[in-house]
Amino acid sequence: MILKGTFLHTPALGELEIRPNAYLVTEGRQVAGLYDTLPPQYENQPVTDWGDALIIPAFTDLHIHAPQIVNRGIGYDKQLLPWLETYTFPAEARFADPVFADRAWKAFLNKLWAVGTMRFSAFATIHKEAAWRLMELTEQSGLRGLIGKVNMDRNAPDDLREDTDASLADTEELICRSREELKHTGFILTPRFVPSTTARLMEGLGGLAEKYDLPVQSHLSENPSEVAWVSQLHPDIPTYTQVYDCFGLLRQDKTIMAHAIYLSEGEKALLKDRGTMLAHCALSNVNLSSGVMPLRQNLAQGLRCCAASDVAGGHTAAMTHTVTATVQTSKLNWLTHPDQSPLSLAEAFYLATRGAGAFFGDVGAFLPGYEFDALVLRPTELDALVERTPFEQLEQFLYDGDDRSIAARYCAGALVPQPFPNSTRG
């Protein structure tokens, strides 16, 4: 495939490359090269000419709750723990109904497609059937996802509290089934968070992680009441981070921890050592009054970080909003921490593209050998009134753009049409 257009990407944190009127050549799923003039060996091949469109890497969202797509914007009068009890758990309980689950999953995948998220790591619910259906639909969608059946065997309402052995058996069944039947959709172990998983369940999940060499996702140090609760539940383990580590759940370079706001220097050193990906959830941290992650400091200390939506703590799956909220919250943090400079828009964009894409391998930039995930942006009539540089076009898309500006989406080298055209687009 050969595409022509203006390419913009962030190959590294703090780097921005813009290539006007360039040619991008793909071979299979991957980028073969980005050229200012087309090399002679490609001269007789068809070119998809996107004219003066801006072509950017598609988004990767490493922390999103698929069932909570129905709860966007709901219940931000409360903080984390009462918000879960009041709004989130009742919504997730509805996924015991396969008909409801099917409709919600299709709307979820259509929504991710619409907003330009081509890869994601999602929490499903505790329900084995619903989690499997989300895996199957993701496989059909053309998007690339890691999906986890949620595990919860304590401190959950009756209809969401699992028997420990059943939770482990259901999880192992899904791991095996997805390995046999799916090519592009992976399983990710998903203990909800320490307060809702007993030591025996975490130990069992640590065993499955080792046995099947699986990635893990969970929540860490999001809210002060939650952190205090974890230290009551595990008085013998000094920190929240060490609870996960004790049970083998901080797998080397294979664990995503969302929020990670209230960390000691010792916890940060451990997370850095384990190569844990910290998902910074700017919208959720504000909506649930959780706190401000010291993102600049974490990056300077060499921690792996990405930007993620955390729907429905975050009120939208659109990563454009997550990117701009990442910049905005870093500016507010700067006012009280003058040593922590705010993030630039390009840095925040990196965290939602190459930074997050790294969890899937070489993804999120237009470098040779990288999988080609991209969005083709066309300015709206309003945007086109004033001539803009490519970077200004990116700024306007991130701050005030929406799916009407996305003319085409590519994932792993293929054009992706709307996954479920007969279902709601969201």
> Which residues of the shown chain bind ligand GUN in the complex (CB under 6 A)?
65, 80, 84, 88, 192-193, 219, 222, 284, 310, 313
Q: Taking the complex as a whole, how short is the minimal distance between the CB of residue 259 and ligand GUN, in angstroms?
A: 7
Measured CA to CA, the distance from residue 60 to residue 17 in angstroms comes to 19
Q: Which is nearer to Fe ion, 25 or 293 (CB)?
A: 293
Q: Taking the complex as a whole, how short is the minimal distance between the CB of residue 86 and ligand GUN, in angstroms?
A: 12
Measured CA to CA, the distance from residue 214 to residue 93 in angstroms comes to 26
Picked from Fe ion, ligand GUN, none, the partner binding residue 371 (CB below 5 to 8 A depending on kind) is none
CB atoms closer than 10 angstroms to residue 203: 16
DSSP 44-81: TS--EEEEEEEEEEPEEEEEEEGGGGGGTT--TTS-HH
Q: Taking the complex as a whole, how short is the minimal distance between the CB of residue 192 and ligand GUN, in angstroms?
A: 5
Q: Which is nearer to ligand GUN, 33 or 291 (CB)?
A: 291
Q: Which residues bind Fe ion (CB under 5 A)?
A: 258, 310
CA nearest neighbour of 117 among 398, 394, 374, 400: 374
Q: Which is nearer to Fe ion, 288 or 377 (CB)?
A: 288
DSSP 199-265: HHHHHHHHHHHHHHT--EEEEES-SHHHHHHHHHH-TTSSSHHHHHHHTT-S-TTTEEEEE--S--H
Measured CA to CA, the distance from residue 334 to residue 338 in angstroms comes to 5
- Residue closest to Fe ion, measured at CB: 310
- Residue closest to ligand GUN, measured at CB: 313
Q: Are strands 255-259 and 216-220 parallel, antiparallel or unpaired?
A: parallel
Q: Which is nearer to ligand GUN, 48 or 225 (CB)?
A: 225
Q: Taking the complex as a whole, how short is the minimal distance between the CB of residue 391 and Fe ion, in angstroms?
A: 31
Q: Which is nearer to ligand GUN, 76 or 334 (CB)?
A: 76
Picked from Fe ion, ligand GUN, none, the partner binding residue 193 (CB below 5 to 8 A depending on kind) is ligand GUN
Q: Which is nearer to ligand GUN, 32 or 227 (CB)?
A: 227
Q: What is the DSSP letter of 344?
A: P
Q: Which is nearer to ligand GUN, 314 or 379 (CB)?
A: 314
Q: Which is nearer to Fe ion, 92 or 310 (CB)?
A: 310
Residues 6+ apart with CB under 8 A from 112: 61, 118, 120, 143, 317
Tell me the angle at which helices 319-336 and 390-400 cross, rounded to the nearest 10 degrees: 90
Report the C-alpha dihedral over residues 68, 69, 72, 74, rounded to 10 degrees. -30
CB-based contact 159:93 (threshold 8 Å): yes
Picked from ligand GUN, Fe ion, none, the partner binding residue 84 (CB below 5 to 8 A depending on kind) is ligand GUN
Positive or negative: CA dihedral 269, 275, 280, 285: negative
Picked from Fe ion, ligand GUN, none, the partner binding residue 222 (CB below 5 to 8 A depending on kind) is ligand GUN
Q: Taking the complex as a whole, how short is the minimal distance between the CB of residue 68 and Fe ion, in angstroms?
A: 8
Q: Where does 58-172 show beta strands of DSSP type E? A: 59-65, 117-123, 144-148, 150-151
Q: Taking the complex as a whole, how short is the minimal distance between the CB of residue 116 and ligand GUN, in angstroms?
A: 22
Q: Taking the complex as a whole, how short is the minimal distance between the CB of residue 220 and ligand GUN, in angstroms?
A: 9
CB-based contact 145:363 (threshold 8 Å): no
Picked from Fe ion, ligand GUN, none, the partner binding residue 315 (CB below 5 to 8 A depending on kind) is none
Q: Which is nearer to ligand GUN, 92 or 347 (CB)?
A: 92
CA nearest neighbour of 189 among 141, 127, 254, 246: 254
Tokens 């609760």 correspond to what residue? 229
Q: Taking the complex as a whole, how short is the minimal distance between the CB of residue 258 and ligand GUN, in angstroms?
A: 7
Report the C-alpha dihedral over residues 252, 255, 261, 265, rounded to 10 degrees. -10
Q: Taking the complex as a whole, how short is the minimal distance between the CB of residue 397 and ligand GUN, in angstroms?
A: 26
Picked from Fe ion, ligand GUN, none, the partner binding residue 92 (CB below 5 to 8 A depending on kind) is none
Picked from Fe ion, ligand GUN, none, the partner binding residue 333 (CB below 5 to 8 A depending on kind) is none
Picked from ligand GUN, Fe ion, none, the partner binding residue 192 (CB below 5 to 8 A depending on kind) is ligand GUN
